[in-house]
Structures are given as C-alpha cells and as structure tokens.
Structure 1
C-alpha cells in the first residue's frame, strides 16, 4: 500500500484519533474558529474547547447540529467511520468545481439540520397547545 493510500485510510480514523481530534480537525477544515463555531451552536467557547480536549461530549441535539455545521456525519465524529474530513492528498487534488459543489452540499446539510431543529421546536409547541 502506497503512502497516499495509507494516509487516506488512516486519516482521522477511530484507531488514531479521539472525538476531540475529529471535532478540531473538522472545525479547522471548515475554516471556523472555536468562537465562531460556539456562536453558531449557541454554546460557550469553553464548551467547544471541552469537546476538543475530550473533557466532554455534546448532547445528541448539539451533536447533530455540530455535524451539520462541520459537514461531517455524526457517526464519523463519534467513531471515525463514515463521512468525515478528507485527507490532505484528497483535498489537494480536488478540482475547484468539485470544491464548490461540496461546499454547497455542506451548506444544504446545515440548512437541513437547522430546519429539522425548528420543526421539532414547533411540533413541541403544537403538542403543548393541543394538550392544554
């Protein structure tokens, strides 16, 4: 197995990284600072820092939103398996058109996660109103 092949199979995998490593890597790949990510998630910077330092993990609702913002799967954040951050080799050979498409898809995923969260809040309000 060549070096590029080995790198692409071990990049951010479960055997070599922690949850915090994957959050940090995905955040950096998305071009976000800790403060910006915290603001988008509605949490404190201290909370994001705790996740990245493996001192804590987000609740399920924040995990879904975190994955959407970072453009990775929840499974990848938790286990290193699934759709995650690409290796440096994969990033460097990517055509600009493909990068634009990938960026658009990640934005759609983020929008979807935010709409799903809004729908859940509205559904909860409706249930409360109907039971009153």
Structure 2
C-alpha cells in the first residue's frame, strides 16, 4: 500500500489534485521523467522546469495559471487566457537569476515569485514586446532584492 503524500506547497497539492486517478508512476512515464522527480514535485521539495510545467498542464488538462498559482479556475488548458511563452520566459528568467547569483530559491518561494512577476507583467503591459521589456526590468528589481546589485 502506498504512503499518503503530505504535500508541503500549494503547487504540490494542485499537482496531486490534477493527477487525480492517474498513478504517479504512469504520469512519470508519460512525462518521460524519473518517478523520484515526480514524487519530489508532489511533496513540494522541488519544482518542475518551465517546459515540463507546460507538458504537465496539457497532459492533465488544467491551465498553467491554476497549476502554478492557483488563481484561475481549474479549466482546460485551451480555455485559459494564458501567455505560455511569457510564463516560460518568466520561469527561465528566475532560474537564470538564481543560478547567476548562486542563490537557491525554495520551490514555494519560486512559485510565488513566478506568479507575482507573471501577474505584474500581464496587468501592466498590453502585448508581447512590452511584456518582454517589462520582464527584464522586473528581473533586475528581483536581482537587487536578493542582493545581487
């Protein structure tokens, strides 16, 4: 009998809910990811990379916005008004910043930061190019906040 998971983050709880009756082992196989990696995501000790988040949301039929931030209804990915390319750039920017500064951002904080930056960009800018420029500015601000100058 499998142990009952105790997710540490809201993201982990949503991932488990989205997986539903699909076995974790089956999800890992479909995603071509190690079972231990998927288990880490579901416990909340690690966070999937941007490309994997997109694959998970599509495979499980939930919006990226709901999966990552819990802000949108748990609608199908096709119903979500989400800019996948922008979200991917935000995730990649945070990962790069973390690596450049040598700072590990814990998964729950990383998820909150991604959601905050994405929300700020969508609310403040109309379109793609403006949002890309805005992302550069926001990442500079985050770099200053974590002490990287």
Structure 2-normalised TM-score?
Answer: 0.43
The structure having more radius of gyration, on CA atoms, is 1
Q: Give the TM-score normalised by structure 1.
A: 0.49
